[in-house]
Amino acid sequence: MDIAILDAIQEHLRTPLLDQVMLLATHLGDLALVWLIAAAVLIAQPRHRRYGIAVLLAVVATAILGMFVLKPLFGRTRPFVAYEFAGLLIPPPSGDSFPSNHSMVSFAAAAALCCLPGKGRAVLALKVSAVAVACLIALSRIYLYVHYPSDILVGAVIGIAVGVASVQVVKKAWPEPPPSGSE
Report pLDDT digits (tens) over 41-61.
Answer: 999 999 899 999 999 999 999
Cβ(98)–Cβ(71) below 8 Å: yes
pLDDT interval class at 87 (50, 70, 90): confident
pLDDT (average), residues 82-98:
85
For the chain, the straight-line distance linking the first and the last C-alpha, in angstroms and rounded, comes to: 60
**pLDDT, tens only, 95-153:** 898 999 999 999 999 999 999 988 889 889 999 999 999 999 999 999 998 999 999 99
